[in-house]
Amino acid sequence: MNMFNRIYQSFKNMFTGSSAVTADMQDERLLEWLGISKTSKNIVSEVTYFTCLKMLSETLGKMPIKFYQDTQKGIEKAVPNAAHKLLRLRPNKFMTPSTFWAAVEQNRNHHGNGYVWLRKEFNRQTYGGTYEVKDMWIMPSDSVHVYIDNAGLLGESGEIWYVYTDRYTGSQFVLRSNDVMHFKTSYSFDGILGVPVRDILRATVEGGLESQNFMNNLYKSGLTAKAALEYTGDLNEDAKRRLVAGFEEFANGSENSGKIVPVPLGMKLTPLNIKLTDSQFFELKKFSALQIAGAFGIKPNQINDYEKSSYANSEMQQLSFYVDTELFILKQYEEEINYKMLSSDENDQGFFYKFNEKVILRTDSKTQMETLAKAVDSGIYKRDEAREHLNLPIAEGGDILTVNGNAIPITMAGQQYLKGGEKTE
């Protein structure tokens, strides 16, 4: 019996046994079938929600992954291995690293969990033979189910299994936790599965979507509010509908905005003026947008709210965005990548992967040059390290630390003040 059949039979026995089974009342399909859930399937069309997803996914996609080794001399760049080439050049034959990690982050934020399948192959050329990652594939989060085998029905107890159903062929794959990189949101009580922000802010996001639909309908009606039609006499329902349809033909739509509406004798059309300013429509819409952005950790200037921002303040908000929002996300990604893509020997030798967060903290050219110059003059950076930040090649003599005093090596500091045969102790 293959692995999937064992899982299927185990869960079949659980659900067909004598004990009662409780339905998952948080299942969106069940809630939709019962008519309880009203969340729009096109919830991404809410502009603030979409902006937050876009900002977080693009931020992760911007940062390349570096490969380092922690040695006795400190942290040094490591020689790229096969796994790093996948992370740096091409996770699979269809995706670049930028689009790959952006898509993973989209799934993580929208569904609460992002899954990456590590397709491995056995390498007989290594000592004793090892399994190496051949390529990496994104598994859409809504096609993955996570099972915890507490009873050890499938092998070792306490193991986590991932069941992926291909949406095109219907084929199902059962994967061990070592073959899947699992990234989740910070909102999780069990530490296994993350909860999407849209579930927590369901009412707020729905309100933002409804306000957007209201504005769309207002534009479609030519910014014309509702109107009351006064007439004398009594009309049946069919006559009322035809009468209203006739007025709407002349009044609705942007192409009819500002045109004359013919009103029959004895009838009066009175607009019901609903001012958006009186209902504080835009203030409430802005407040909801800030709430949604805050839940994602997005700063006001990143959703185009510059009311209380200046250029300097926006720069500090970018730093705050990295510390308050991205730092946790990057740490989680790095921990999962290092655990799943490095062997135990590589971990023992101090190898690790790290996202280069400096790409989102870049300043203007003048500030960057001044910062690098100070770091070189004070002996913090080597000249070649500073040139690397500017994507320049190494230079002769640039691999030593220098300090002020005619830029001498740090090991000779103070010798320029000695007299002719004196020696330092």
d(C-alpha 42, C-alpha 412), whole Å: 67
Q: What pLDDT, on the 0 to 100 scale, is given for residue 60? A: 94
Residue located via tokens 């004398």? 232
Out of 12-16, 216-220, 348-352, pick the least confident: 12-16
Please determine, for residue 18, whether its predicted confidence score (pLDDT) is greater than 60.
no
For residue 296, give both structure tokens.
């994602």
pLDDT, mean over the chain: 76
* Global confidence as pTM: 0.68
Whether residue 327 is predicted with pLDDT greater than 80 in this model: the reply is yes
Does residue 23 sit in helix, strand or coil? coil
Tell me which residue of 52, 201, 178 sits closest to 119, measured CA to CA.
Answer: 178
Distance separating alpha carbons of residues 7 and 154, to the nearest angstrom: 7
- Give the integer Cα–Cα distance in Å for 32 and 129: 50
CB 261 within 8 A of CB 243: no
- H helix or E strand, kind and range, residue 409: strand 408-409
Say if residues 94 and 163 touch (Cβ distance below 8 Å): no
86 pLDDT exceeds 60?
yes
Count of alpha carbons within 13 angstroms of residue 184, beta-carbon side: 13
What local confidence, expressed as pLDDT, does residue 35 receive? 43
pLDDT digits (tens, 9 = 90+) for 88-120: 999 999 999 999 999 999 999 999 999 999 998
CA distance 300 to 289: 9
For residue 396, the tally of other CB atoms under 10 A from its CB is 6
| Nearest 10 degrees: Cα torsion 394, 397, 400, 406 | -120
Is 44 a residue whose pLDDT tops 50? yes
> Pairing between strand 144-149 and 159-165?
antiparallel
Instruction: Output the CA angle 408-411-413, nearest 5 degrees.
Output: 55
> For residues 16 and 99, what is the distance between their CA atoms, to the nearest angstrom?
43
Q: Could you state, in order of their start, the residue ranges of all structural domains in the chain?
A: 47-201+301-362, 204-282, 365-425
What per-residue confidence (pLDDT) applies to 214?
66
Distance, in Å, from the CA atom of 195 to the CA atom of 187, rounded to the nearest integer, reads 6
